Amino acid sequence: MKAPPRSKPLWQAIWQSFMSALGSIVFGMEDGTVSIFGLVFGVAASATNSQTVLLAGATGAISAAVSMMAGTYLDVSTERDRAKAEIAKEQDKITRQPEQEAQEVRQRLLEAGFTPSDAETVTTVIQRTPGAMLKHETAFDLKIGEPAGQNPWVQSIWMFLADLFAALVPVGPFAFLPLGSARTVSLVVTAVLLLVLGVGRGIIGQKNVLVTALQTLAIAAAAGAAGLLVGSLISSRVSG
């Protein structure tokens, strides 16, 4: 009697979902940090106490995280629906026009450098293997890759958590420190987080980590400067 398949441990399932959403996590953390960093420093330019900055920053962080979660869910869901529709159309073509689909495979193999004999052999094997023709066409003709198979809930939840966590980093100091000290601490912890994210981007994308770290810091500096400028202008107009 065949033993029932063993279920994965919870930690392993969480880890696999984390790795599958790694791109969304890094993007969400960078977006959350940069956008809320600019907001916080814009508000801090005209605020008279930490509570005002905390309220604006926390509200912005939660709103941004929910927005990014919804956007990710819709994006992944749309991609999955498009992929399913394309696969259904391709399956219909394989059923109605098997020889034409086989000829496309032969031609593709010949263009890849196969000899006519080898191309014919491989095509014959693909034709007689259940599901192989559809998998071949999905990979080489439709070019449907891993994103189409992602779970939209997994991707969107990880995006929400990553965006919210990173967005709260520049906000956190204003919950515990007076305004002047909170500004300094917020700047330092945000810079450290962005540095780590920049290095992470470089490792994931196999790029120069120094370049990606500096790019990330430069984007955040621009956001902070923009927020500070707008906050200062509004403050001067209100006080004037």
- Sign of the torsion formed by the C-alpha atoms of 195, 201, 206 and 208: negative
What lies within 8 Å, CB to CB, of 28 at 6+ separation is 65, 68, 72, 158, 159, 160, 161, 162, 163, 166
Per residue in 221-234, pLDDT (tens digit) is: 777 777 667 666 66
Q: Of the given ranges (97-106, 107-116, 215-224), which has the lowest mean pLDDT?
A: 215-224
* Calpha distance 82→115 (Å, rounded): 35
What is the three-class DSSP state of 108?
helix
* Calpha distance 60→40 (Å, rounded): 9
What lies within 8 Å, CB to CB, of 81 at 6+ separation is none
State pTM to two decimals: 0.71
User: What number of other Cβ atoms are within 10 A of residue 176's Cβ?
Assistant: 11
Per residue in 10-63, pLDDT (tens digit) is: 667 676 776 767 777 777 788 788 888 888 877 877 778 889 889 988 998 898
The domain spans of the chain are 26-239
Residue type at position 31: D
